[in-house]
Structure 1
Amino acid sequence: MIARIIHWSLQNRWVVLLISAVLLIVGIINIQSNPVDAIPDLSENQVIVFTEWQGRSPQIVEDQITYPLVSNLQGIPKVKNIRATSMFGMSFIYVVFDDNVDIYWARSRVLERLNYAQRLLPSGITPSLGPDGTGVGHIFWYTLQAKNMNLGEQRALQDWYVKLALQTVPGVAEVASFGGFEKQYQIVVNPAKLQYYQISLQQMLQKVKANNNDVGGRKFEMSDMGYIIRGLGYIQNITDIENIALGSYKGIPVRIKDVATVQMGGDLRLGVFDENGNGEVVGGIVVMRYGENADKVIKAVKSKMSDIQKGLPDGVSFHIAYDRSTLIEAAIHNIQSKLIEEMIIVAIIVIIFLFHWRSALNIIIQIPITIAISFILLNLFGISSNIMSLTGIALAIGVIVDNGIIMSENAYRHLAEKQNHHS
C-alpha cells in the first residue's frame, strides 16, 4: 500500500504539490481563526442556577428551594449529573451536561424548566442562571487607582460606569465587581418608638416603598398646548426619607425621623480586597464567554478601557492586576522561536551530513505544512491554541524532523549504492 502511494506521488508530482499548497493555505486560515488561550479549558459543560433568599438558614434553603429545583431539573435531556449546595441565604445548583452538548442549548433547556419550577418556590423568589463562562474564564483583573475618592465612591464608579461599559465588549460574559462599599440608605428603627406610636414594621416598609416612586398621569391640553402630568417621587437624599409620613398619633403626623435614624452606609461585607498589602482597593474581574478567543477578548477589553479612561474623574486610573495575554503571548513566542530553531538546526545537520541542500529543503518544507494541517484538525475538534496543544505540536515537529532526516539519509544511501553498482 505504501509503495503504491509513493509510486503514485512520484508519477503525479504536480498534484501532490497542489494538494500541499491547498492544505497550507487552508491551514493558515485556520491558524488565524483558532481561539488562543494560555491554558486548556478542561472544565465541565455545566449551567449554574443561583437563587438568593436573604436571612434563611441552610436547612430552610435546602428544603424550600434547592430540593424542588433539583427534582425538576433532573428531567432535562443529556444531563450527566446535578450537584447542589445550600448555604445561608443562597442556593447553588450545578447542572452538568454531556461534553458534546452545545452550552447555549443547555442554558435554554434549564431556563425552560425553571419557568415551570417557579411555582414551587416561595413567593418573591426567582432563580437565575450564572454567566455563560467557565472555570478558567477569569482572563483579566483590574483595580481603580483613586487616592482622592473613598471606597464607597470608587465602588459606585465601578458599578455604574466602568462595569456597564466593559460588559458591552464582545466575548465578555460578565464583569464581577469586588472591594469597597455598596452605598445604601440605612434606616435604624427604634422598636420602642414604633410601639409608642402604634406603627408596625410592615406598615413602615410599605410607606418607604410607596414614597420612592415616580407616577405618570394623563395628558391635558390648554391653550393649544399639550401637557403631560407626572409625579416625581424618587428619594434624592436622607432628608427625603426622614420626612416620609407613616401615620398620625393624636392628630400629629408621625414621620420616619420620629421613630428611626436614617444614615448613609455600606452593605454588609463578608470580606475585603487588599492589593499587595497596601490597603483596600476596588476593581473588577472580566469573565470571558464560553468558547471565545481569550487573546482577542483581552485586547478588546484594553481598547475599551482606554476609551473609558477619558470619562473617569481626574486622578482616577486603571491598574492591571492580572492579564492572561502576557502568558498567551509568551507561549506563542516560544513555539515560534522553537520552530525557527528547528528549521535552522535541520538545515545545518542535513547539509553537514549529506552535503545536499535539496534534501534539507525537502525536510524544512514539511514543517509549515504539518503545522497548518495540525491547526485544521484543532479547529475541527474544537481545541484552542494553548500551552498543551502548542507543546504537542512542537514535540510532533521534532518527530517529523527526525523521520525526515532518516528517510532522506536512507534514500541518499540507496541512490549512492545504485550509482556505485552501475559504475
Structure 2
Amino acid sequence: MLNFLIKFSLTQRLFVCIFVVITLLVGAKSWLSIPIDAFPEISPTQVKIVLKLPGMNALEIESQVTRVIETELLGIPSQEMLRSTTKYAITDITIDFEEGTDIYWARQQVNERLVNILPSLPSNISGGMAPMSTPLSEVFMFTVENPTLSLTQRRELLDWHIRPLLRTVSGVADVNSLGGYVKAYEITPDILLMQQYNISFNELETAITATNQNGGVGRLVKGNDTLILRTEGKFENIDSLKNAVIKTTNNKVIKLHNIATVSIGSLTRYGGVSKNGEEAVQGLIIALKNSNTAKVVENVKSKLQTIEASLPTGTKINVFYDRSNLINTAINTITNALSQAVILVIVLLAIFLGDIRSSLVVALSLPMSALMTFILMKEFDLSANLMSLGGLVIAIGMLVDSSVVIVENIVNRLSSNQHLPRLHVIYRACKEVATPVFSGTIIIIIVFSPLLMLSGLEGKLFTPVALTIVFAMLSALLLSLTIIPILASLLLKNEPVKQPKIVTLLQHFYSKTLRKTINKPAAILVLSVSTFIISIILFQGLGKSFMPVLDEGDIIVQLEKSPSISLSSSVDIDEQIEKTLLKSTPEIIQIVARTGSDELGLDPMGLNETDVFMELAPKSTWRFNTKSELIEDIRNTLTNYPGMNIGFTQPIQMRVSEMLTGGTGDISIKVFGNDIAILTSLAEEISGLANKIQGASDVQMALIEGGKYVNIKLIPEVASQFGLSTQALSHYLKYQLEGLQISSLLDGNHAIPIVFNRAKETSSTADEISSIHALKQKLILMPSNVLLPLEQVANISMKNGPLLIEREKGNRFSSVSANVVNRDVVSFVDELNMKIQNEITLPSGYTLTFGGEFESQQRATKNLLLLIPIALILIFIILFTTFNSLSKSSLIIANIPFALMGGVIALYVSNEYLSVPASVGFIALLGIAVLNGIVMISYFEQTKQFAESLHNRIIDGAKRRLRPVLMTATTAMFGLLPLVFATGPGAEIQKPLAIVVIGGLITSTVTTLYLLPLFYCWLEKRNA
C-alpha cells in the first residue's frame, strides 16, 4: 500500500499537486471557520432547573419542592449527577448526564418529568428549565450607564429595549438582567378602610384580577357581515387601575383608590449590583452550548454598537468582562509560540541538512500538515483553543521527522546515482524508508492514544491535544509519501550535497567519545546509574497537581457576610469596599459587584454573598511583579472589613470549580448526612483543621445554619373563633410583608407587574416592620371582618434555621472549600485527610469525600497508570515485528527510563508540579525515545553485512546516524522552546509539558548516542 502510494504520486505528479493545492485551500477555509475559544467544551451535558417560591424558607422548599422533584428525576436514564441548592425563595437543581448524551433528549426527559410533577408543587411556584447553556456560558458582561436616569429607568432600558434585541443575536441563549429596580404598580391597602367596607384581601385580589381581563366571545352575523365579539376590561394605565371597582355596598361603589394607595414602585429585590461605589444595572450575555464563543461575542459587540445609537442621550454601554479578550490573548500566545517554533525548526533543518533546496522541501511539510490538520479539526468539531493548538505546537518538531528521513535518503541516492532515471531513484529511495517512517508515525499515535481514553474534565481538556497530534502526524505521513517525493523530484539536484561543517565537527567529536565509552564504559555507567537514582529521589519530592492555573487577567473576590444581613446593608458594604479598593489599588480599573440572586436564577447566591469582578490595568503599569502579590495587597486591604469570609478566583476558574463540585476553590470537602446541626458542626471542625495546614488559603465553609426563623403558630381556639386558617394567615402576611404580584398592566408591549405592597397602617408608629414587637402588633383582618393584633391569634417565637441546604444524589451535605497556595494540592489533601482521620470521628451514617481539582488529578493519574503500560505493550509488539528480536526490542524500550529521568530532573529544577500537562510531556517522551532508538538500532542491523570489527561497525554506524538522531531531538526540543519562555495567558498550561520534553530529550539523546551503542555491543558479543 505504501509503495503504491509513492508510485502513484510520482507517476501522476500533476494530479497529486492539484489535489494537494485544493486540499490546502480547503484547509485554509477550515481554519477561518473553526470555532475559537479559550478552552475546549469541558462542560457536561447538563440541564438546570430554577424554581422561585417567594416567601418560602429553605426547609419548606426542600421538603415541598426539592425532594419531590429529585425523586422524580432520579429515574432518568444516563444520569451521572443530581445536585441541588436550596435557599430562601429559590431552589436550583442541576442534572449532569453521561458524556455523549444528546442535550435535546436530556432536556426533553427532564421537561416531561417536571410537567408531571408541577401540579403537586405549591401554587405560587414560578420558573422552570434554565436556558440551554453551560457553566462557562457567561461570556460578556456590561453595565448601562446614564447619570440622568434612575436605577428603575436604566433597568427598564435594559429589560425592554437592550435585552430583547440582544436575544436575537445568533448564539445567544439568553440575556440576564441584574441590579436596579423592576418597575411595578404598587397597591398599598388601608386595613382600616378595608374593615370599614368589609373587604378582605382575597376579595380585593379577585376583583382586580377579574376586572383586568380581555376575552373572546365569538361571532355575530349582521346581514352579510360577520362581527367578532370581545369583552374588554384590561387596565390601560394607572388611572384605570385606581378606578377599578372593588365592591358595591348600599348602592355605593367602592373603587380601588377608596381603600388603597396606588403608586409606581418596584418588585421585591433578591439581588443587587454596584459599580465603583454606586448601585448599577448589569446585563450578562449567556452563550448557547457548543456555540462559537468568539463569534458570539463579536456579534454581541456589533449589535451593541447599533443599539447604543438608539438609546437616550447620554446612555453608554460599559463593558467590564469580555471573554474574547482572553480568547484572543491566549490564542495569540499559542500561535506566536507556533510561529516561533516553525522558524526554529526550519533554521535547524538548514543547519543540519546544509542544503537550501532539501531544507525547503522538508520545511514545506509544516504549513501543509497544519492546514490538513485544520480540515480534520473542522470535521471532528474541534475548536481552535489552548489545548488543540497546543497539541499542534507539541507535534511541530515531530512533523518533519517523516519528511527528513525521506528527503535525506533521496539526497543520498541521487548523489550516488549514475545510470537510473531520476524518478526511479526517488521511488527506490522512498520505498527503502517507507516502512520505518510508517512504523514511527504509528508509534507516536499509539503513545498519545491514552489521552483519548481519559474521562471527566481531564478527558475533555486533553482529548483535543491528542486528536490534534494524531491528525498532524497522519497528515505529515501522507505528505511525506506523496507531495514530498514530487517536490524532491522538482527541486533537488543529482549532484552530491556537501555535508555541513558543524555536522562534520559533531561527528568527529562523537566518534572519539563513543570509542572511549565502548572501550571504558565504567564512567558513563556510573554517571547514568547515579543520575537515574537521583531522579527517582527527586520524583518522590515532586509536588502533584491537576493543572497549572490559567491567568485569565481579571480577578473575582468572593465575599460571604453575616448570614442574616439585609440586601441593602450587603450592597452598602460592597460600595464601601469598592471605593476603598479603587483608592488604594491603582492596578484596578473598575469594580462591579453582584450580590444575591440574578434574574434568571442561574447563580442563586444569598443576600450575604457577593462576587466582586475586578478589571485590571495592563501589567506594565503595576507596582507588583506578580498577580499573587497584587492579590495579597487586596487581601490586606479587605482585612479592614472584619466578619467576612474572603476567597479569590477568576471568572472561568470559578465556574469550573462550581461545575465540578457545586462550590469554589481548588479542593472541596463534602460531608454527607441528614442532620443539619451535625453537618454544620463537622464542617466547622474540618474548616478549623484546614486553616491550620500550611498552604491553606481562602478556606470557606458553606453557611448552612445562621438563618433567623420567626415561627408564627396559630392559637387553635382563637383561630377557630374567628374562622382563620394557617393557609389564610400565610397568604395574608405575604400580601403585607413580601409583596405579592397579582396581575399586570400592559404598557405598549411591556407587561408591568401589579403587586400588593406592604399594607399601610394609619394607627401604626412606623411603616416598616423592623422588629418582632412590631410584627406582634401587626393588625390582621379576620374573615369575620374583625381586626386583631397578630400576637392575639398566634404564638410568635424565634428559632435558628438553615440558610442553605445542598444535596447530591438525594442526600444532604455540608461543604468546605479552600485554595492551595505555594504548595501542591495532593500533599495538602493527604495532610488534611490524615488530620481529619486522627481528630474527627464521623457519626454513623455520615461520610466524607474530597472533590475539585484533587479528584480530577487522582482520576487522571489512575487512568494514565492503567493506559500507558498498554500503550508500551503495543509499542513493544511493533518493535518486535520490526526487528524480529526480543532482545533488541527490549534494548530500545530500555531507552525510555533514561528519557523519563531527564523530565523529572527538569521539573524539579524548574520548580514545576507533576500535573496532567507534565504527564503528557512524559507520554511524548515515550514516542521520541523509541523513535531515536529505532533510528540507531535499525542502522546497526543494516551494517551487519559489512566485514568490519564489531566496534568499528557500531562506531561508524552511530556516527552516520548522529545527524538524524540530533535532528529528531533538536527539532522536538526547539519546537517546544517558545512555550517555556512564553508569558501570555495559556503559556502556564503548556509550560510543564515543554519543560518535561526538553529535559527528557537531553537525557534520551545522550542515552541513544552512548548507552544504546554500548548495550548493543554487549548484546552482539553475547550472541556471537
Q: TM-score range by the shorter chain?
A: 0.7 to 0.9
Q: SS at 1:272's partner residue? A: strand
Contact 2:38 2:331 survives alignment (8 Å): no
Matched residue, 2:518: none
Contact 1:23 1:369 survives alignment (8 Å): no
Write the distance in 1 (CA, Å) between the matches of 2:154 and 2:221. 46
Q: Does 1:190 align with 2:185?
A: no
Contact 1:354 1:409 survives alignment (8 Å): no
Contact 1:40 1:386 survives alignment (8 Å): yes
Show CA shifts across 1:55-108 (max 9, x none): 122222222222221112222221112222222222222111111111112111
Which of 6, 9, 14 is matched with 1:13 structurally? 9
Write the distance in 2 (CA, Å) between the matches of 1:216 and 1:119. 27
Relative contact order (C-alpha < 8 Å, sep 6+): which is higher? 1
Show CA shifts across 1:256-298 (max 9, x none): 2333222211222233212234x22223111111111112212
Aligned counterparts, 1:284-295, within 5 A:
284-295=283-294
Matched residue, 1:76: 76
Write the distance in 1 (CA, Å) between the matches of 2:225 and 2:112. 49
Contact 1:133 1:173 survives alignment (8 Å): yes
Contact 1:359 1:408 survives alignment (8 Å): no
Matched residue, 2:305: 306
Matched residue, 2:342: 343
Equivalent position amino acid for 1:173 in 2: A
Equivalent position amino acid for 1:284 in 2: G
Contact 1:218 1:228 survives alignment (8 Å): yes
Q: SS at 1:286's partner residue? A: strand
Equivalent position amino acid for 1:132 in 2: M
Equivalent position amino acid for 2:306 in 1: D
Aligned counterparts, 1:408-419, within 5 A:
411=409
Write the distance in 2 (CA, Å) between the matches of 1:285 and 1:103. 23
Contact 2:166 2:175 survives alignment (8 Å): yes
Q: Does 1:270 align with 2:270?
A: yes
Matched residue, 1:149: 149
Matched residue, 1:398: 397
The offset of 1:21, in angstroms, is 5.0
The offset of 1:30, in angstroms, is 3.4
Matched residue, 2:247: 247
Contact 1:47 1:129 survives alignment (8 Å): yes
The offset of 1:25, in angstroms, is 4.5
Q: SS at 1:112's partner residue? A: helix
Q: SS at 2:273's partner residue? A: coil
Change (3 A) 1:147 1:223: farther
Q: SS at 2:299's partner residue? A: helix
Contact 1:114 1:127 survives alignment (8 Å): no
Q: SS at 2:274's partner residue? A: coil
Q: SS at 1:284's partner residue? A: strand
Equivalent position amino acid for 1:121 in 2: L
Matched residue, 1:112: 112
Equivalent position amino acid for 1:291 in 2: N
Aligned counterparts, 1:5-404, within 5 A:
5=2, 10-14=6-10, 17=16, 24-123=24-123, 125=125, 128-217=128-217, 230-277=230-277, 279-401=278-400, 403=401
Equivalent position amino acid for 2:134 in 1: T
The offset of 1:413, in angstroms, is 9.2
Greater helix share, structure number = 2
Write the distance in 2 (CA, Å) between the matches of 1:80 and 1:376. 33
Equivalent position amino acid for 2:392 in 1: I
Write the distance in 2 (CA, Å) between the matches of 1:12 and 1:288. 48
Show CA shifts across 1:292-332 (max 9, x none): 11122122222322332343223223222222222223334
Write the distance in 2 (CA, Å) between the matches of 1:22 and 1:110. 46
Change (3 A) 1:289 1:199: same
Write the distance in 2 (CA, Å) between the matches of 1:91 and 1:348. 61
Equivalent position amino acid for 1:282 in 2: V
Equivalent position amino acid for 2:154 in 1: Q
Comparing 246-255 with 150-159, which one deviates more in the overlay?
246-255
Contact 2:41 2:290 survives alignment (8 Å): no
Q: SS at 2:209's partner residue? A: helix
Show CA shifts across 1:117-139 (max 9, x none): 23332346465111101111111
Contact 1:48 1:130 survives alignment (8 Å): yes
TM-score by length of 2: 0.38
TM-score by length of 1: 0.86
Write the distance in 2 (CA, Å) between the matches of 1:112 and 1:31. 41
Q: SS at 2:40's partner residue? A: coil
Write the distance in 1 (CA, Å) between the matches of 2:399 and 2:355. 19
Q: SS at 2:207's partner residue? A: helix
Contact 1:39 1:387 survives alignment (8 Å): yes
Write the distance in 2 (CA, Å) between the matches of 1:36 and 1:311. 31
Q: SS at 1:11's partner residue? A: helix
Change (3 A) 1:153 1:225: farther
Number of matched pairs: 415
**Rg comparison, structure with higher value:** 2
Change (3 A) 1:413 1:375: closer
Contact 1:141 1:322 survives alignment (8 Å): yes
Equivalent position amino acid for 2:313 in 1: D
The offset of 1:198, in angstroms, is 1.4
Q: SS at 1:309's partner residue? A: helix
The offset of 1:349, in angstroms, is 3.1
Write the distance in 1 (CA, Å) between the matches of 2:239 and 2:385. 57
Contact 1:350 1:405 survives alignment (8 Å): no
Write the distance in 2 (CA, Å) between the matches of 1:353 and 1:383. 35
Change (3 A) 1:225 1:135: same
The offset of 1:228, in angstroms, is 5.3
Comparing 247-256 with 157-166, which one deviates more in the overlay?
247-256
Q: Which runs of 5+ in 1 are unaligned?
A: none
Write the distance in 1 (CA, Å) between the matches of 2:330 and 2:351. 32
Write the distance in 1 (CA, Å) between the matches of 2:251 and 2:201. 21
Write the distance in 2 (CA, Å) between the matches of 1:344 and 1:34. 24
Contact 1:118 1:126 survives alignment (8 Å): no
Q: What percentage of residue pairs aligned between the two structures are identical?
A: 31
Equivalent position amino acid for 2:80 in 1: K
The offset of 1:378, in angstroms, is 3.3
Change (3 A) 1:132 1:184: same
Q: SS at 2:115's partner residue? A: helix
Equivalent position amino acid for 1:270 in 2: Y
Write the distance in 1 (CA, Å) between the matches of 2:154 and 2:131. 24
Show CA shifts across 1:153-202 (max 9, x none): 11111111111111111111111111211000111223333223211111
Equivalent position amino acid for 2:211 in 1: N
The offset of 1:405, in angstroms, is 8.8
Comparing 228-237 with 168-177, which one deviates more in the overlay?
228-237
Change (3 A) 1:380 1:223: closer
Comparing 167-176 with 215-224, which one deviates more in the overlay?
215-224
Write the distance in 2 (CA, Å) between the matches of 1:282 and 1:81. 35
Change (3 A) 1:208 1:407: same
Contact 1:363 1:404 survives alignment (8 Å): no
Contact 2:334 2:386 survives alignment (8 Å): no
The offset of 1:381, in angstroms, is 4.4
Q: SS at 1:367's partner residue? A: helix
The offset of 1:362, in angstroms, is 2.5
Q: SS at 1:75's partner residue? A: coil
